[in-house]
Amino acid sequence: MPSRFDDGNSVLHSICWPDSGVGRELACSGAQLIHLHWIGRAGLSIEEVGHFPQPLVWTLHDQWAFLGAEHYVRLPPADDRRFVEGYLPGNRPEHERGPDLNRLTWQRKRRAWRRPIHIVCPSQWLAYEARASALIRSWSIHVIPHPIDCTLWSPSDRDQARQQLGLPQGVPLILFTALAGTEDPRKGADLLQAALECLSSQIEERSTAPQVVIVGAERGDSDLSIPFPVHFRGVIADNAKLRLHYAACDVLVIPSRQDNFPNTGLEAQACGLPVVGFRIGGLPDIVEDRTSGALADPFDPASLASSILWVLADPTRSSSLAYEARQRAIREWHPRHIAGRYAELYRSVLAHEEHR
């Protein structure tokens, strides 16, 4: 009996097979251009993507388009660069077992995607990775961030928000949004815990010690051991209530090991909440270091703790960070601005098709 596929990567894998039938419907829809986003397991097949007669624009939400079946490479400190060379028989990592599903999926992409696709990456990091890949490096690759509704996500009075949510007044509140984040190693909950332990050792006056708000997990769902009082808020599906949590807190921490362009960072900044995270992935696109938040050295808990403390230590600085975070969101991610950039890309793609 053949051994089961195992590449040591716990992230989602998608083979996008067989055909769904959606590709045929879209191809016959009369549309001049098709814009793809995340196609995942239940969307289009790899072959359907390659059969569209219309030009394609594809906004990537992870690395899957230029990897094998995996949606992200393995977490650091692993250095998975197989996608740069191509998935060859000779460069399969020794730890993998079973059929080479990543290579088989990558080969299907190479066979099916003969015509270049216009790629959009929300972050500079994802664009860099795409341009390094053997599969799509020759395609046109653009960086256009996600938009954020700056009317929905906007600042509110902190004291009133805390009163409505039953959160304490007069103490710093650190927010961590943890939808699957306390269990997903990509989201770095363990690094946050280590950083908060470092922070605890630096705080001399316990009466002004911060407290932690965790959205997306119940108390019984998490085995985190945090040296500060913790308010578990569970999963919040109501955007208005989530906005109140951004308003109530003093800093959002995104301790991810891997992240393309986390929407929580956009929402927080639009609400005037400074963001702290590691200098990885799309976080440098979201956080202007020491202007709208702070970036820490990857993946150093002490550096993360220092960055959190830097945001919290000075009320005047915190107010400045909050103001700049809001202005950055309006300037960089307002829907009108992002829609204009996409409209310009569509015009360019259609003009290019006319002259082929």
- DSSP symbols for 233-265: EE----HHHHHHHHHH-SEEEE--SS-S--HHH
**pLDDT score recorded for residue 330:** 98
- The Cα–Cα gap between 249 and 172 comes to 7
pTM over 0.85: yes
Rg for the chain (alpha carbons), in Å?
Answer: 22
**pLDDT score recorded for residue 1:** 38
**pLDDT score recorded for residue 262:** 95
Tokens (6 digits) for 185: 């190693």
**pLDDT score recorded for residue 42:** 63
Q: Which residues pair with 118 in a beta bridge?
A: 57
Q: At 313, give phi and psi (nearest 5°).
A: -70, -30
Using N-to-C axis directions, what is the helix angle for 335-354 and 315-333, rounded to 10°?
30
- The Cα–Cα gap between 53 and 56 comes to 9
Q: Which residues pair with 211 in a beta bridge?
A: 173
**pLDDT score recorded for residue 206:** 59
**pLDDT score recorded for residue 184:** 86
Q: Answer for the pair 157, 177: CB distance below 8 angstroms, yes or no.
A: no
**pLDDT score recorded for residue 181:** 61
Q: Is 192 helix (H, G, I), strand (E, B) or coil?
A: helix
Q: How far apart are the first and last CA of the chain?
A: 51
**Is the N-terminal amide bond of 18 cis, ω within 30° of 0?**
yes
Q: Which residues pair with 79 in a beta bridge?
A: none
Q: Could you tell me the strand order of the sheet in which 34-36 lies?
A: 34-36, 56-59, 118-121, 141-143
Number of H helices and number of E strands within the chain? Answer: 13, 10
Q: Which residues pair with 277 in a beta bridge?
A: 254, 295
Q: What is the mean pLDDT of each run of 10 residues along the chain (356 residues)?
A: 83 94 94 94 89 97 98 94 97 96 98 97 98 98 98 98 98 90 86 96 77 88 85 94 98 96 97 98 98 98 97 96 98 97 98 80
DSSP label of 167: P
